[in-house]
Amino acid sequence: MKIKHTLQALLIGGSILSGVIQGNAQSITTTQTTNTAGTISEFGPDTLVIRTESAAAPVRYSYTEKTTYTDEAGVAVSRDVIKSGAPVTVYYVLDGDRMVASRVVLGKPVAIVPDKIIEKKTTTTTTETE
């Protein structure tokens, strides 16, 4: 009789434990953010195209209303200031096969120094001897 009750208790306890485990199961989703630094080659209504030194072809990113734009100090900037040729770092997540920008950080423009012109003067002295 004791064996029968013990077996029933184990079966009931096991099914309760199984129900608790199944009822408390949680779905965990992780999102990995990656970044790329480069220069903007195109900025359209929903697309940002970046040229990098490491990629042969430009890299295309989508952006949304949730995408934030900042300068290097973290100060928010308007999307209107983004222009072709500006240095940026794009932080993005993969959404299927699309790369969606979550944050765009504008870098300082690279100062272009014109070629330095060096002017040389040559003086030639000629002496005549008789």
Q: Is the pTM of this model over 0.85?
A: no
Q: Are 74 and 28 in contact (CB under 8 A)?
A: no
Q: What is the pLDDT of residues 54-111, one digit of tens each?
A: 888 999 999 999 999 999 999 999 988 888 899 999 999 998 999 999 999 998 765 4
Domains of the chain: 34-106 (2.40.50.320)
Whole-angstrom distance, CA of residue 38 vs CA of residue 49: 10
pLDDT in tens, 35-55: 889 999 999 888 999 998 888
